[in-house]
Amino acid sequence: MLVYKEVLNPNCISKRKINCNRFLTISLIEAFFTILVLLKKYSILSSPQPMPKEQIKYSPEEAFLKAAHYCAYQERCHNEVVLKLGEWGVYGMEAQIILSKLIEQNYLNEERFAKAFAGGKFRVKQWGRLKIKRELKVRGVSDFCINEAIKEIEADDYLETLKEVIEKKMATFKSLQLGIAKKKVYHYAATKGFESDLIWDCLNAN
């Protein structure tokens, strides 16, 4: 009789309904968030990506004029121009013909580019010879042009720049032991492209 009364008891039935409703509500919320996660995972809710623009194909004459303007704006290496021509839909023999015309008309001069690049990186970025050579090599510049560009950097200016780099960096390591500070400064100067022997000479001179 006791069990029977519990089953028919209105209070018990009401509590069970409340618990059931809570369970359903929680289940629906969990299901909703699960669906959101799945939609986001498969990019269904992400904002639509813009369609890629159709590449404009320029005629050889138009491409030459654009390339001439591109080279006149600042010095360029051959690889930069070839890549830019590719963006304009000009490849193969057409690109080579345009490249030759740019060289003939002095819009494009890789030795001039190498010298401008080396001088700028040395004066502004305080790069050493090794880094300048490496970056020019990556751009496909010939060894002859690289060597000519490096010759433009005066030895005295180079040494003074290295000393300045070392002094500035050493000032940031005043709290460290001298030996540790020198190793850190050496590593820093080496990453900027200065030669190991010159770095140690400057460090030991201080």
Segment among 43-47, 68-72, 127-131, 183-187 with least mean pLDDT = 43-47
- Residue of higher predicted confidence among 49 and 159: 159
- Residue of higher predicted confidence among 131 and 47: 131
Co-location of 64 and 102 in the same domain: yes
Count of Cβ atoms closer than 10 Å to residue 5 Cβ = 9
Co-location of 170 and 198 in the same domain: yes
> 201-206 contacts: CB < 8 A, separation 24 or more?
202/159, 202/162, 202/163, 202/166, 203/166, 206/166, 206/167, 206/170
Q: Is residue 6 part of a domain?
A: yes
Q: What is the mean pLDDT of the chain?
A: 83
Q: Is residue 182 part of a domain?
A: yes
- Residue of higher predicted confidence among 56 and 77: 77
pLDDT digits (tens, 9 = 90+) for 94-104: 999 999 999 99
Contact 78, 95 (CB under 8 A): no
Q: Which residues contact 99 (CB under 8 A, 6 or more apart)?
A: 78, 81, 82, 85, 108
pLDDT value, residue 4? 41
22 pLDDT tier (thresholds 50, 70, 90): low
pLDDT digits (tens, 9 = 90+) for 124-133: 999 999 999 9
Co-location of 32 and 66 in the same domain: no
pLDDT value, residue 115? 97
Largest CA distance in the chain: 111
How far is Cα 165 from Cα 206, in angstroms, rounded to an integer? 13
* Domain range enclosing 27: 2-41
pLDDT digits (tens, 9 = 90+) for 168-179: 999 999 999 999
Q: Is residue 124 part of a domain?
A: no
Q: Is residue 121 part of a domain?
A: no
Q: Is residue 69 part of a domain?
A: yes
Q: Is residue 163 part of a domain?
A: yes
Q: Is residue 118 part of a domain?
A: no
What's the domain count of the chain?
Answer: 3
- Residue of higher predicted confidence among 107 and 47: 107
Q: Which residues contact 170 (CB under 8 A, 6 or more apart)?
A: 181, 182, 185, 206
pLDDT value, residue 60? 87
- In the chain the first and final C-alpha atoms are separated, in Å, by 101
Q: Is residue 125 part of a domain?
A: no
pLDDT value, residue 205? 86
How far is Cα 121 from Cα 85, in angstroms, rounded to an integer? 26
pLDDT value, residue 39? 47
CATH of the domain at 94: 1.10.10
pLDDT value, residue 43? 46
